[in-house]
Amino acid sequence: MYFIGIDSSTTATKALLMDSAGQVLAVAATEYPFETPRPLWSEQHPDLWWDGAQKSIRAVLEQAGIDPAQVGGVGLTGQMHGLVLLDEAGEVLRPAILWNDQRTQAQCDEIHQVIGKELFIQITGNMALTGFTAPKILWVKQNEPQVYARVRHILLPKDYVRYKLTDAYAMDKADGAGTVLFDIKSRTWSPDVLRALGIDPAWMPALYEGPQITGFLSAEAAKATGLKAGTPVMAGGGDQAAQAVGVGAVSEGIVALTLGTSGVVFATTDGPFIEPQGRLHAFCHSVPGKWHLMGVMLSAAGSLRWYRDTFAPGMSYDDLLAPAAQVPAGSDGLLFLPYLTGERTPHPDPLARGAFVGLTVRHTMAHMTRAVLEGVAFGLRDGFELMKSAGLGKITQVRVSGGGAKSALWRQILADVFGCELVTVNTTEGAAYGAALLAAVGAGKFRSVEAACEAAIQVTGSTLPVQAQVKAYEQVYAIYRDLYPALTSSFKRIHELR
């Protein structure tokens, strides 16, 4: 028996095919763009995800040469928080408003005012932030009333793919919590929040735990994808929860660190653990009956990609990073703020901006490159420090993954900035692999998500901190933490100029 995980991310839809032992047999991805039609906006048409899913599923089936009837289940994951609005017939009403869209600060303020900020945090586990789904719904209501009047279904990106596969309107509880329309303690939609915001509960999809079956492949979807009609489709999870499953971060004490376009520090908890000021995200996990804390920075490996594309277009990342390894820790006093698209943790500020600070004529491109790597590491440490100050239990291991984790230099910088061991695991496909594991659990191949991870995931490498570097970074990190408060008013004035 085989299992497929589908990951509909911001830049591509990936399909991963694994066997019943957890071995990856084939991976395929279909890339696509997203649009920024106005400052602070980020949108994408859902048809791109469905087209990508069809092509990628067909590609992995062809690569592996298996009989589609042997696929025992499909698990779904993808970018979180994006708003997909459908009408009565299930037709898309407008392009999806994505997780990195920053237009909704006024709606976030309104949510806090209407419900009360402290009460909202206690119900949902989070502040209302521009990235989340709830303020996007209010924005459409207030700015596109003709669209809002036709809304009958609200989905998240991966759940639109689910709808196209099964004709079912469904969502997993991990991704549902990320809408901030959830009562995180009871793991379901909050009637109080929906009522206060004037959102019809009938628009919200049915909810499932990560491994549960949400529907079965329709005949039409089977024809489009090459899979067999009737194949079960499991709930899966938002990309970060599925990523945590994919690296085995499913128990307390194991922290997942993701270096993707965004950067994430993720810790599993056995109960709903809410940071009192809402500076960390508290969501349900894809693991039934578990929750997680999460710190998110919006531009992690995305910062490096922007830097490469802007200053060294066409250069390979290996060639770009090699000279930076010869630059000392702290980049000779050059610091980088990675707030290229605003920020979420620990500064929920859509107007925060990126910056190089401390430039002199002595600095070279190698210094700038290393400063970018270090700035992202400092931003991730901010989330790590919040978890410790919030009283999270002992952290026994940090598992690093994502595209940026391929760099040995970046892994060493992270180990030195965090002051602890980082490990890599045998799985490199993160969220898509986690979705496939959840499908295998739902099909009965493993007795639990924890058992699936124990059987399929092993530690493959370790990066230990260098104490001299740790000491050097402590001094630089203290300066880094002073920069955002010092520049906040300037960021606001810069925005007002536009």
CA distance 44 to 321: 31
In the set 239, 349, 382, 416, the catalytic residue is: 239
Tell me the one-letter amino acid at 332.
D
Which stretches of 308-359 are assigned E, i.e. beta strand? Answer: 335-337, 355-357
Query: Residue 113 corresponds to which amino acid?
Result: Q
Crossing angle of helices 117-124 and 105-115, rounded to 10°:
90
Active site residue 309: no
CA 198 to chain centre: 28
The span from the first CA to the last CA of the chain, in angstroms, equals 56
Tokens of residue 464, six digits: 């230990």
Give the bridge partners for 86, in sequence order: 92, 153
Contacts of 484 (CB under 8 A, 6+ apart): 337, 339, 347, 352
How many angstroms separate the CA atoms of 161 and 47, rounded? Answer: 9
3-state secondary structure of 142: helix
Task: Find the helix or strand (DSSP H, E) in which 170 lies.
Answer: strand 170-172
Contact 415, 461 (CB under 8 A): no
Catalytic residues: 239
